[in-house]
Amino acid sequence: MDHIRDPNLIPISQKIAAGERLSFQEGLLLYHTRDLPTLMRFANQVRLQKHGDHTYFVHSLRFSQTNICYVGCTFCAFQRKFGEEGAWDWEVDEAIDWVRSKYQPGLTEIHISSGHHPKKPFDYYLELVSALKQNFPGVQVKAWTAAEIHHFSKIAKSSYREVLSALKDAGLDAMPGGGAEIFSERVRSQVARAKVKAEGWLEVHQTAHELGIPTNATMLYGHIETLEERLDHMDRLRKLQDQTGGFMSFIPLAFQPDGNKLAIGLGKREFTTGLDDLRNLAVARIYLDNFPHIKGYWATLTPELSQVSLDWGVTDVDGTLIEERIVHMAGSPTPEGLSKEQLAGFIRSAGRIPVERDAVYNVVKVWAEQAPALQKEKVAVEITRRAEA
């Protein structure tokens, strides 16, 4: 406790050491403290307790069968209308051809998130999952957000359970965590008014977990939300995870300010700061005590900041992201993909052990038992220097 400069953090330190849960007010203290070295140490302590030096990534293809969407979220630069420049809308055979053109040996996961298409019938999505599983044996399909499942339930005139059961029977392995945005109705009414409500998003994930479909959870931050609303979002996720245990990871997504109505309305051109990103990840790692992983999504953070985040509670950097489009169409300056070797390299150079996983966190390959001794020593010295700065 000698290094703790903020006395308000001392009781939190004791709770973390004892493995006890933080209250909502204690979570807010973490967001407001200026003792950032201690916050980093807290998050890293929780990370080490859960996973040691292991840091995970997946060989993943990002795929969107269409960007036609009627929802009109103000933060989105991905959506298009029929006939608009840049729109695409593939039939099943066209989608399979596109995936085949991007396929790489050892591909583990096809990650699908797309637009809310107003005309495609639900059978189309069942056929697409089946075709992907048939044409790419052994590849896992992690597909469609809770917002899209809500859309499917409307076009199929079926319950969430019926929709998810049919998708699982077709071959669905897992679900991504998108569409969550911020659960606060104040914010949601301004950024995603026509999208599924927070309660519906949570119900979809609860139903998926009950059916044995593991999922992720996201949070879009850095626009008009307050810190209290960020923590409220995490608190609702923590409560659902207590009930189901079906979430694999939590992924904070930094708002990308290019090409969308929200950024224009706010007059916002700047990206989130690195400090805000790291603080957000650290609070998530400490507060979401029942989530296995906190993901430092390199496509929005940048690979460099994602590497730094490994000291701030992060145990997963996502994956190769072949052909990621959604955040890049909103201005993300990062590459559209990284190789497995690049991902393993930046994890290893941070003094961590790279672990290639599949969509549901089964280990595919441990890339190195440890970083080279000299490099690991240098990293340890740098971590200590930062913590004591």
Segments forming the whole domain that contains residue 229: 7-388
- Average pLDDT of the chain to the nearest whole number: 87
Q: Look at residue 1 and tell me if it is in a domain.
A: no
Whether 90 maps to a domain, the answer reads yes
Q: pLDDT of 271-309, one tens digit each?
A: 789 999 999 999 999 999 999 999 999 988 988 999 999
What pLDDT score was predicted for residue 255? 83
Give 249's strand partners. Answer: 293
339 C-beta neighbours (distance < 10 Å), count:
13
Residue 254: inside a domain = yes
Q: Is 125 left (phi over 0), alpha (psi -120 to 50) or beta?
A: alpha
Q: Is 2 within a domain?
A: no
* DSSP 8-class letter at 327: T
CATH number, domain containing residue 70: 3.20.20.70
Number of domain units in the chain: 1
| Statement: residue 42 has pLDDT above 90 | yes
pLDDT at position 372 is 43
Tell me if 151 sits within 8 A of 142, measured CB to CB. Answer: no
In a domain, 61, yes or no: yes
191 phi/psi in degrees, rounded to 5: -110, -20
What is the average pLDDT across 210-238?
96
133 lies in a domain? Answer: yes
The mean pLDDT value for 156-176 works out to 98
**Above 70 in pLDDT, residue 378?**
no
Q: Does a structural domain hold residue 41? A: yes
